[in-house]
Amino acid sequence: MDSPSSPGLRRIVLSAAVLAAIFILAFLGNQPPGPKPLDAPPNQFSAARAVDSLRRILKEDVPHPVGSAEDDAVRQRILDELMKIGYQPRVQTAFACSKYAACATVNNILARLDGSEPGSAVLVSAHYDSVPAGPGDSDDGTGAATVLEIARALKSLPAPRNSVIFLIDEGEEAGLIGAQAFVDSDPWAKEVRVDVNVDNRGTHGPSMMFETGRANDWAIRFFVQHVPHVAADSIAYTVYKSLPNDTDFTVFKQAGYEGMNFAYVKGVGQYHTPLDNSANVSAASVQGHGDYMLPLVAALAGADFANLPAGDAAYFSVFGHWTVHWPAERSLPIACIALALIAAQIVWLFFAGRLSWQQILWGMTAWLVMMIVTSAAALVLARAVHLAGVTPVTFIAYPQPLEAGFALVGIVAVITNGMVFSRRAGFWGLWSGVWAWWSILAVVVSLRAPGLSHMLVVPAAIAACAALPATIRRKESSAPSSLAVLLPLAAAAIVSMSLLIEMYAALGEPALMLIAGLTALLLTPAAPLAVDVRAVAGFRGLAVPWIAIVLGALFLFGAVIVPAYSAKTPERVNFRYLEDADSGKAQWAVEPDSGHLPEAIRLAANFHQADKSYLPWDTNHAFLTDAPHRDLAPPTFTILESSESEGRRTYRALMRSERGAPAASVLFPPDAGVQAISMGGIPWQPPPERVKRYLQNWTAFSCPTMTATGEEISFSAPTGKTIEVSVLDETYGLPPEGAFLLHARPLTASSSQSGDVTLVIRHVQLLP
């Protein structure tokens, strides 16, 4: 047994201390900066000034969806702010359609700081509309305020080389319509080469540069060169590209603009709800945006945009203050060199008699078992906590016990299996197995997903170098072998720890299994220390794993007993009043995000679960009960003209809300075979596959800014076939008879997105 002062014990304690220090530094590095005051120098970004302008812009703190009178008032106040700081803003009014099959008349706010050289411009963008359910102070009121503060600060800097265009658009929440209108029809759009966009998916947290244009490597190099204390990670960008999320930057990127997209993502429980209000605005998070965006925009205003190099970068943040980066194409040769060096050291250890092939195989098996056991245990545990009601929705109010519990799954798997396999594999067998797998995976990931490569390439490269002083010796030596474990372990933690800390805030429940897997992965470099653990007096076999198991059980028990929702992180529960003009039937509908009816609402009326006939294109969980018929005027869908050619009939129709609803939609069933759809003369863009799946393959076309005269729609359909078209219009809020439902909604529930609405639907048959 080792004595308390033995090298083995010192190695264990030092490794644990290094991991703890890296965790603390990564946690502190992920905190937003302190906000600068109102009297900060004029050439600096002041969050206090930005928030002050936000209060003036959104002074009523009420929802202001696209096309509403409230949005008109917000727009006028933004125009006033721009004029106050010396700009001559204008409004671009245009009718546009997005890839989400949503068309609207939008009013974009534009201002310009002219550059000394014509031809190229930098766009700084945000949006000012909110969802109907909430005031939108953070999404994207703080974005609009950030753009205003940048516009003000640039006035106090030398005149730029490139013009800077400020765009605060309308209709983002309705489907990125304002951005599409700018790209499609505004003359300034042709000058733009680079966009810096800000949008938020939460109410606080550090500012994150989570997306770039196609010249990714150029963007990162430029960002790091001109902005102090940059934090960014290509893993976040790679994952974001696979998520069903879009911002205005999506439109600008498709238009060929380069640039960067910024957001903060914590407080997602308040996002798109009434809680996205002035009380929950974080001045520190706004300052984070400004500290990044102002120097970036100022530098871009003086940059040369000719022949921007294409190519991606691999990059990661060190403690939230520095970003290490290189062209992603270099990851593969680095990974190959690391693999070759590690393989050479393993072979040398074998021929030096310090390692047997059996130990190598046991070591490789140990790593594989660690990852398989972690994945299996996390999968079973994730299912168990979901069935226990711990995770009824993607984001719960108190995720910290779950995060800790799933991290401990990875810790237990590494410690337990490390100790089990240490007898046969030994120190160098475990080292060889761990780094053989890491370097092999580094090569594979560098080939298939270069943006993720640094997570494996950096530790593998450091392991290949750090072990050399120990492996080239013919005899064992304590200090060099300690470095062979400690340095790559520290590298793995530095590369991955910030990501691990922010993972749940970014992804919610799906992150739990990733937390377990990533924890296990970054701890596998410590597997050789299992040899030391077995040798240290007092641990008694599996005492160390049992400590982690007990802690994990306590955290998971805490996750079970704490509520899933709170007043600050409520469940999303929307009410609908639905009146079918054809049958005369009216219903109250409740749509809880969890799929389970809150008890207070269940007691308010005799609800039953909806079947597929409720709204066949709607995938939301719904509960229904009868409602009083109010005889609301149904929307109309009038065929103005039709003609037949080559087996298809072309229609021109007018969709109109007879009761003056602000939004209306027309939906065609999956087998309708409609083609060549357009609204207001603008052709329909087929939506992404995820939108089709969400609508059960129905084809939908909506207009959130209906006029009194309606909107024209044209389309073609096969002849000889009857098609039943569904038309509905929508007003925000419930009729007075629905007050009992609003009173029944508990404090731990809230409306979200479109909120509580009144829908009137009718069906129109198109005869063959």
pLDDT digits (tens, 9 = 90+) for 353-392: 899 999 999 999 999 999 999 999 999 999 999 999 999 9
Predicted local distance difference test score (pLDDT) of residue 473: 77
Across the range 460-483, mean pLDDT stands at 85
- The maximal CA–CA distance of the chain, rounded, in angstroms, is 94
Predicted local distance difference test score (pLDDT) of residue 476: 66
Instruction: Evaluate if residue 140 carries a pLDDT over 80.
Output: yes
Nearest to 480 by CA among 431, 536, 418: 431
- Encode pLDDT of 597-624 as tens digits: 999 999 999 999 998 888 999 888 899 9
Question: Which positions ≥6 away from 747 have C-beta within 8 Å?
Answer: 567, 570
Euclidean distance between CA atoms 214 and 257, whole angstroms: 8
Instruction: Evaluate if residue 237 carries a pLDDT over 70.
Output: yes
SS3 state at 372:
helix
Euclidean distance between CA atoms 420 and 216, whole angstroms: 45
Predicted local distance difference test score (pLDDT) of residue 7: 67
Domains and CATH numbers, the chain: 47-319 (3.40.630.10), 331-561 (no CATH), 571-768 (no CATH)
The counts of H helices and E strands in the chain are 21, 23
Euclidean distance between CA atoms 226 and 198, whole angstroms: 18
Nearest to 158 by CA among 305, 303, 302: 302
Instruction: Evaluate if residue 537 carries a pLDDT over 70.
Output: no
Nearest to 148 by CA among 84, 203, 72, 90: 84
Instruction: Evaluate if residue 4 carries a pLDDT over 50.
Output: no
Across the range 85-99, mean pLDDT stands at 95
Q: Does residue 140 have a cis peptide bond before it, meaning omega lies within 30 degrees of 0?
A: yes
- Encode pLDDT of 247-266 as tens digits: 999 999 999 999 999 999 99
- Encode pLDDT of 495-523 as tens digits: 999 999 999 999 999 999 999 999 999 99
Instruction: Evaluate if residue 5 carries a pLDDT over 50.
Output: no
The model's confidence at residue 169, banded by pLDDT at 50, 70 and 90, is very high
Q: Is the pTM of this model over 0.75?
A: yes
The model's confidence at residue 763, banded by pLDDT at 50, 70 and 90, is very high
The model's confidence at residue 68, banded by pLDDT at 50, 70 and 90, is very high
Euclidean distance between CA atoms 526 and 419, whole angstroms: 11
Euclidean distance between CA atoms 533 and 241, whole angstroms: 42
Predicted local distance difference test score (pLDDT) of residue 538: 58
Instruction: Evaluate if residue 1 carries a pLDDT over 50.
Output: no
Euclidean distance between CA atoms 757 and 728, whole angstroms: 12
